[in-house]
Structure 1
Amino acid sequence: MMVSIVLGSLAIAVGVLMFWRLPLPNSEGEHADAPLVSIIIPARNEAQRIPVLLKSLKNQNFTEFEVLVVDDDSTDDTVSVTESFGATVLRDESKQDGAGKSAACWHGVQHSKGEWLLFLDADTQFTTPHSLGNLLGVYHQKGARGVLSLQPFHSIKDLYENLSAIFNVIVVVGMNVFTLWGRRFRPAGSFGPCILSNREDYLASGGHKKIEGALMDDLALGETFLEGDLPVYCLGGKGIISFRMYPEGFKTLVDGWCKSFALGSQSTHPLVMAMTIIWISGSFISVGALISSLLAMDPVAIGLTGLLYLIYALQTMLFARRCGNFRWAIFLFHPILFTFFAGVFVYSLFRVHVLRSVNWRGRKINLK
């Protein structure tokens, strides 16, 4: 029993080192003097989600931008919905069917005019009228070089969406730069939903053209900048940008997280990966110790293991709520969240390394 308590306490301590903090954009104000910004949005069957983003763009105080939506073989009303907001819709007729997000982004750049390039996923939205200006201000503060990427704050509405809690934590931690040691570790890449760069650095790195066909385009794009000795900055998006992931239902949530999650983990630093494994194990250790103490009917052991279980629930809640507005009560059942994460991760390994394919948005993506 004491061994489990010690191991569980160690996992909590490792968790603190693993996810020390998630810095947020800190701008003194909007960057009114920013150059023209080209906002490029790859979209495939986003008719239900893209209106929220386009509406938030219309509400921005900073207005020196163009919006280019690149339709990626949508079969719904994405094009007509987008045009109703006055955005420019592009389609690359020369590409092969299903060329994917990177090809769409590159096509958008070829038709853009801005000195700065902002790539947004169609399910994101700016949270205030100042958000875009503040984002540009942060990039200016960092010298307007390389890449600034934000992980949007996850907006939760339906109960099943809370199953994404551990995934959100692991995605952020897996970028390597949020441990106690900060940027001493090389970033694993960039966050995909919100990426800002200047045109010169983007083209010098090869941009999305260089990574065309990469399943983890966000990590691959950040890597191209790092290879060119260009900085990659990763921050949390709370207060600037948010998204609601997989509102279509449970199956889409599983497919979404399964899509190359195993591949993405390969970019995580070995030490960070080891800490992550220890932290995940702590949840199962804490519940195992609590069950054992209850079966033994030992009041002291029940008190100690119960306290360990609750501390683990609290830590998991604090970590997850840095990433999204997850309901606090679900963390009382944190072993369920970790079990779901482990199951989907194993399924992702099977899809990636055995079946060599993943499913996403009605498209089967074959892996090389």
Structure 2
Amino acid sequence: MTKEVGDVSILFIGSALVVCIGLLSGMVVFWRVPSLRTTQPPTFQLASTVTIIIPARNEEQRIQPLLESIALQEGVRIETIVVDDHSTDCTREVAQSFGVRVLTNETLEDGWIGKSAACWTGANAADSDLLLFIDADTVFSSPTSLLAYLSEYEEMGGIGILSLQPDHKAERWYEQLASIFPVVVMMGMNVFTVVGDAVKSAGSFGPCVLCRKDEYGAVGGHESVRGAVMDDLALGKKFQEKQLPVRCYSGRGIAWLRMYPGGFRQLIQGYSKSMASGSLATHPLVMLLINAWIVGGVLSPLLLLLFAAFSGEVGFLLVAGTLVICYMASVARAIRKAGNFSFWTVPLYPVLFLFFIGVFMYSLYLAKWRKRVRWSGRDIQV
């Protein structure tokens, strides 16, 4: 064996080890994602009404499917409040056409971020014992979704937060390209590892947050996290500080969402505004495992295309091919848990990881150097 071949073999073995660690890390950090029961009827009559609070800024295109799905809900007494966060489109008119209560936040006080202010306004106006904060781009999957959601919350003790991450619905190419993003968001919540809820959650998911109004008030509600870009994580932490449980579940079968139908630029703005700051809430060990999974995903095709080929060893080629197939399976399994992403993207997984890294670095630049991000026509200080 020549020195060059020997050096390539050493590089191959080292890279193969990194890839194996990445595969194992991805499995450990995304071991099991629990979801709520959607077919079993409740064992008791719900005693409480629920106020659904929808913060909405320029959501005329996305809020209608949500309001339609709310109108179809069965077995639950519902008060719906849409808080128009100074929209410049017809969000208010669309909401009013469904006969729901519409409030308006015209201006923001210093230190407030729009969504937090809208949620706070809606919560203060709510008449129900239960509050459900839901993003305008979320849609209930069936007429019994809300009943199943509330029933599970009550069976879990009816305290703290029960938050859901809805299934992502991807239609256009750039949404498929971003399939790794919701996976990492879910991984970063700390609670889907092999140890389950032995590690405290990073907070709550943002699209669907269910809690009791009295507990919300006791922790200070959104007023206590008024300046947080990731208000969902910050609010969850406030509940945890009061020793109230914060549970994070998959919303599969309960709700789905399509986050960025407005185009590639909207997707970049949406994810870059929160990724860097959100990562700070992730447990350091979980973050290390996530990074190992990403690095392994970038390196694994390198084994097949470079080191294995240069070595000329058939055994190395077989090992490299096996590792690439295993990584494809790992990515396919992960994105399937996050939404309806197409499997044609799976062979392109190194590109998916590189795209994620690029947007994360841009988010880091915005958070650490520019100190500002732009979203829905507003500049937000971070």
Question: TM-score, structure 1 length as denominator?
Answer: 0.97
For 1:341 and 1:93, locate their aligned partners in 2 and report how far apart those are by CA, in whole Å.
35
Q: Does 1:125 align with 2:136?
A: no
How many angstroms does 1:99 deviate by?
4.1
Match of 1:199 in 2: 213
Match of 2:328 in 1: 313
How many angstroms does 1:93 deviate by?
4.7
- Please list, as runs of the form range in 1=range in 2, the aligned pairs for 1:288-299 lying within 5 A after superposition: 288-292=302-306, 293-299=308-314
Match of 1:6 among 9, 12, 17: 17
Match of 2:31 in 1: 20
For 2:277 and 2:162, locate their aligned partners in 1 and report how far apart those are by CA, in whole Å.
23
SS of the counterpart of 1:22?
Answer: coil
For 1:20 and 1:362, locate their aligned partners in 2 and report how far apart those are by CA, in whole Å.
38
How many angstroms does 1:297 deviate by?
4.4
Change beyond 3 A, Cα 1:93–1:157: closer
How many angstroms does 1:299 deviate by?
3.0
> What is the Cα-based RMSD across aligned positions, in Å?
1.4
Match of 1:92 in 2: 105
How many angstroms does 1:201 deviate by?
1.0
How many angstroms does 1:338 deviate by?
0.3
Match of 2:235 among 217, 221, 227: 221
For 1:281 and 1:69, locate their aligned partners in 2 and report how far apart those are by CA, in whole Å.
42
How many angstroms does 1:96 deviate by?
3.5
SS of the counterpart of 2:159?
Answer: coil
For 2:47 and 2:356, locate their aligned partners in 1 and report how far apart those are by CA, in whole Å.
41
For 1:263 and 1:213, locate their aligned partners in 2 and report how far apart those are by CA, in whole Å.
12
For 1:62 and 1:364, locate their aligned partners in 2 and report how far apart those are by CA, in whole Å.
41
For 1:34 and 1:324, locate their aligned partners in 2 and report how far apart those are by CA, in whole Å.
33
Change beyond 3 A, Cα 1:275–1:138: same
Q: Which moved more, 1:273-282 or 1:46-55?
A: 273-282
Change beyond 3 A, Cα 1:249–1:32: farther
Q: Which runs of 5+ in 1 are unaligned?
A: none
Q: Does 1:186 align with 2:200?
A: yes
Match of 1:346 among 356, 361, 375: 361
Q: Report if aligned partners of 1:34, 1:136 keep a CA contact under 8 Å in 2.
A: no
How many angstroms does 1:95 deviate by?
4.1
SS of the counterpart of 2:183?
Answer: helix
- Between the two proteins, what is the percent identity of the paired residues? 44
Match of 1:177 among 174, 191, 195: 191
Q: Report if aligned partners of 2:230, 2:274 keep a CA contact under 8 Å in 1.
A: yes
How many angstroms does 1:21 deviate by?
0.8
For 2:334 and 2:47, locate their aligned partners in 1 and report how far apart those are by CA, in whole Å.
34
For 2:370 and 2:13, locate their aligned partners in 1 and report how far apart those are by CA, in whole Å.
43
SS of the counterpart of 2:179?
Answer: helix
Q: Which moved more, 1:282-291 or 1:344-353?
A: 282-291
Question: TM-score, structure 2 length as denominator?
Answer: 0.93
Alignment length (residue pairs) = 367
SS of the counterpart of 1:218?
Answer: helix
SS of the counterpart of 2:260?
Answer: coil
Letter in 2 for 1:361: S
Match of 2:56 in 1: 43
SS of the counterpart of 1:17?
Answer: helix
Q: Report if aligned partners of 1:38, 1:113 keep a CA contact under 8 Å in 2.
A: yes
For 1:170 and 1:93, locate their aligned partners in 2 and report how far apart those are by CA, in whole Å.
35
Letter in 2 for 1:275: L
Q: Report if aligned partners of 2:166, 2:256 keep a CA contact under 8 Å in 1.
A: yes
SS of the counterpart of 1:176?
Answer: coil
Change beyond 3 A, Cα 1:6–1:57: same
For 2:108 and 2:174, locate their aligned partners in 1 and report how far apart those are by CA, in whole Å.
37
Match of 1:337 among 343, 349, 352: 352
Q: Which runs of 5+ in 2 are unaligned?
A: 1-11
Q: Does 1:29 align with 2:74?
A: no
For 2:18 and 2:107, locate their aligned partners in 1 and report how far apart those are by CA, in whole Å.
57
Q: Report if aligned partners of 1:187, 1:232 keep a CA contact under 8 Å in 2.
A: yes
Q: Does 1:74 align with 2:75?
A: no
- Please list, as runs of the form range in 1=range in 2, the aligned pairs for 1:191-340 lying within 5 A after superposition: 191-292=205-306, 293-340=308-355
For 1:264 and 1:16, locate their aligned partners in 2 and report how far apart those are by CA, in whole Å.
22
SS of the counterpart of 2:227?
Answer: coil
For 1:102 and 1:208, locate their aligned partners in 2 and report how far apart those are by CA, in whole Å.
5
SS of the counterpart of 2:325?
Answer: helix
Change beyond 3 A, Cα 1:34–1:307: farther
